[in-house]
Amino acid sequence: MDLQTLTYIVVGATFVLYIGIAIWSRAHSTGDFYVAGKGVHPVANGMATGADWMSAASFISMAGLIAFLGYDGSVYLMGWTGGYVLLALLLAPYLRKYGKFTVPEFIGDRYYSKSARIVAVICLIFISFTYVAGQMRGVGIVFSRFLEVDILTGLLVGMGIVFIYAVLGGMKGITYTQVAQYCVLIFAYTVPAVFISIQLTGNALPQLGLGSTVSGSESVWLLERLDSVVQDLGFGAYTDGSKATIDVFCITLALMVGTAGLPHVIVRFFTVPKVSDARRSAGWALFFIALLYTTAPAVGAMARLNLIETIWPGGNSEETQPLAYEERPNWFRTWEETGLLGFEDKNGDGRIQYYNDANEQFSPVAESRGWEGNELTVDRDIMVLANPEIANLPNWVIALIAAGGIAAALSTAAGLLLVISSAVSHDLVKGIFKPDMSERGELLTGRIAAAVAIVIAGYLGYNPPGFVAQVVAFAFGLAAASLFPAIIMGIFSTRINREGAIAGMLTGLLFTFGYILYFKGIFITPLAENVPENWLFGISPEGIGVVGMLLNVIVATVVSKLTAPPPADIRDLVEDIRVPRGAAAAHGH
């Protein structure tokens, strides 16, 4: 059976499964729509959280970034996994104990202010739409390659699927759909990794294969081989880092605290029956996430090695020539058709010169061979999807990874869109403008808001502002700078008041978003060249959320001290959230 037919069958089967689950678990009340009736088992919730968390950025883009960044790509692994530890310890049980539907609702109640709730909604929408842009780009990439349709058609199909199970099922439908999507994506991610690890190292576990010797050579380690081939082409050593220490620290911390401040992740812990289940859910989520995250470094390294050795079949030396363009393999031709892989024959020799033409030390070598610049352009986001094809794996494995990529992108997109929907219907319309709205009216408003959000998300996917993981990193920075400080101070400080919280959130959001716009130019032309020499304290836009977070905390603290303290009932509320039930009696209070 040919690849396209097999892909249609595998992807189509998963779509039938998702829609069937959505119909079976459709929402009948606002409780079902927002928090799945608070009846999800911790293991199922952990699995759904894993799917919600392991978005297109994790499945498609993270290993691609690691493939090209090498050691520098470790910030994504450290930040995204470390953030879950923060979430489990500092936020999940306390927010679940509070028991409200949404993050803006918690902020509005804790800071006794409708204005604070509105500001939280604004922050949430900024974060969620920035994040969802990356997910919808992932949907477009997968569809455009494996279903051989243009990106717009792929996006429309993806939007239709999300519309059915997000609008019909709400959080209840999304939760059980995400359980299925986790099973699909983890199987799709690990099976090709196992095949390729066996090919390159003879070791079936990719995690161990990364630290093994290359098959056929007992003395050459895989990473040593990779260092050698990339350096031969003028690239930096794969195992060396080029980022400044402060930037590595800030990106990692921004991703960590951004994780703990992401509304679509936090709301997951409102879906379990008890406070203790929130902690158990976080533990299970860490386990399910680790299965993919410990595999990603091996996938990235092996993909980079396979790519280079495909272009240089005999290795880069004076005795060998790079691959002739006319002899390029089928995977190269099919990815060219998507526009995500490109070749420009700059010296007219018909061969694919792939090297680092920005390396001044390598320039004399390139000139001596008659090269006039790098001729191969590879979009980082294709590496995981193209990896099985580069390694000549069976068609069923390639079809499987297509289904996994779509599952990863759609699962997170659905969670984000529901958060946007609930922010509009529950926090704005019901909470601010029409508090007497009936439950039926609120449910209808939530579904309309979800439909509108899906349309906007599709537009953002068609006009993406950058690489999937890069866009997602910006969302984490915005979450770290705006919502995280307000939530954490709201739980652990009785002194922060509404004026301080509002001023802090706005300061963190505006500073971080302005910095990203200034250097990255999301949807606009950047105002400054994005180079370390121009960055504030040497911190890149991906890590600037840490500075925004500090500004948020400072402004909130100063303003709170200059204004009236929170009312006594609010201080009692904070103490009640933080202290376990029965603790006071146990200590004789």
* pLDDT 10s digits, 477-496: 888 898 889 988 988 888 99
pLDDT attached to residue 175: 77
Contact (CB, 8 A) for 262 and 127: yes
pLDDT at 583: 43
Give the DSSP letter string of 504-520.
HHHHHHHHHHHHHHHHH
In whole angstroms, give the CA distance from residue 24 to residue 317: 60
Is 496 a member of any domain?
no
pLDDT band at 31 (very low <50, low <70, confident <90, very high): low
The domain boundary residue, chosen from 423, 451, 476: 476
Pair (117, 182) in one structural domain: yes
Report the predicted TM-score, pTM, of the whole model to 2 decimal places: 0.77
Higher pLDDT, 15 or 306: 306
Spatial CA neighbour of 388 closest among 338, 327, 331: 331
Find the helix or strand (DSSP H, E) in which 64 lies.
Answer: helix 63-69
Q: Which domain holds residue 443?
A: 3-205+242-301+391-476
pLDDT per position as a tens digit, 260-292 = 666 667 777 777 777 777 778 878 888 888 888
How many domains does one find in the chain? 2
| pLDDT of 32 above 70 | no
Give pLDDT, residue 584. 43
Most confident of 25-34, 190-199, 426-435: 190-199
**Strand 341-343 relative to strand 376-378, pairing:** antiparallel
**Residue 429 belongs to some domain of the structure:** yes
164 and 313 co-located in one domain: no
Q: Are residues 145 and 50 in the same domain?
A: yes
**Whether residues 29 and 164 fall in one domain:** yes
Is the same domain home to 109 and 186? yes
- Convert the pLDDT of each residue in 383-421 to its tens digit: 888 888 888 888 888 888 888 877 777 777 777 777 777
Q: Give the CATH number of the domain where residue 11 resides.
A: 1.20.1730.10
Residues 34 and 68 reside in one and the same domain: yes
For position 166, what pLDDT does the model report?
62
Does the residue 213 lie in any domain?
A: no
Among 332, 366, 389, the domain boundary falls at 389
Q: How far apart are CA 274 and CA 120, in angstroms?
A: 26
Asked if pLDDT for residue 586 goes beyond 50, the answer is no
Q: Give the residue carrying structure tokens 């007497």.
A: 436
Domain match, 64 and 119 both? yes
356 CB burial (10 A radius; 0-12, 13-18, 19+)? middle
Domain boundary (389, 423, 443) is at 389
Do residues 188 and 404 lie in contact, with contact meaning Cβ atoms separated by under 8 Å? yes
Instruction: Quote the mean pLDDT of the chain.
Output: 80
Examine the domain organization and report whether 71 and 120 are in the same domain: yes
- Domain shared by 362 and 402, yes or no: no
Residues 444 and 343 grouped into a single domain: no
C-alpha to C-alpha distance for 125 and 72, rounded to whole angstroms: 30
- Give tens-digit pLDDT for 106-159: 888 889 888 888 888 888 887 777 777 767 777 777 777 666 777 777 778 777
Quick one: 268 and 324 in the same domain? no
- Cβ atoms of residues 56 and 405 within 8 Å: yes
pLDDT per position as a tens digit, 38-95? 667 788 888 888 777 776 667 777 888 888 888 888 888 888 777 777 777 777 777 7
| DSSP sequence for 68-103 | HHGGGGHHHHHHHHHHHHHIIIIIHHHHHHH--S-H
Q: Please tell me the predicted confidence (pLDDT) of residue 284.
A: 85
In one letter, which amino acid is 184? V
Same domain, 345 and 396: no
Confidence of residue 442 (pLDDT cuts 50, 70, 90): confident
Rounded to the nearest 5°, which phi and psi values hold at 331?
Answer: -60, -35
